Structure 1
Amino acid sequence: MDVVALIARIAFASIFIGAGFGHLTATAAMAGYAQSKKLPQPTLAVQVSGVYILVASALLVLGVWPDLAAIALVPFLLITAVVFHDFWRLESPEERQLEQIQFSKDLSLAGGALALFALYASDGHPGLTLVDPLFG
Structure 2
Amino acid sequence: MNLPHIEAFADEIDDKLKGRFERKRRCAYSMPGATIDARNAKFDLLLRFPIGPNSRFEGEKPLVIARIKFTEQRVGHGTWFLRELVSMAPKYGYESIAIEAANPNVGIQNFVRKFEFVPVLGVSSDWIVSVNQLARRFSA
Which is bigger in relative contact order (C-alpha 8 A, separation at least 6)?
1
Judging by fraction of residues, say which structure has more helix.
1
Judging by fraction of residues, say which structure has more strand.
2
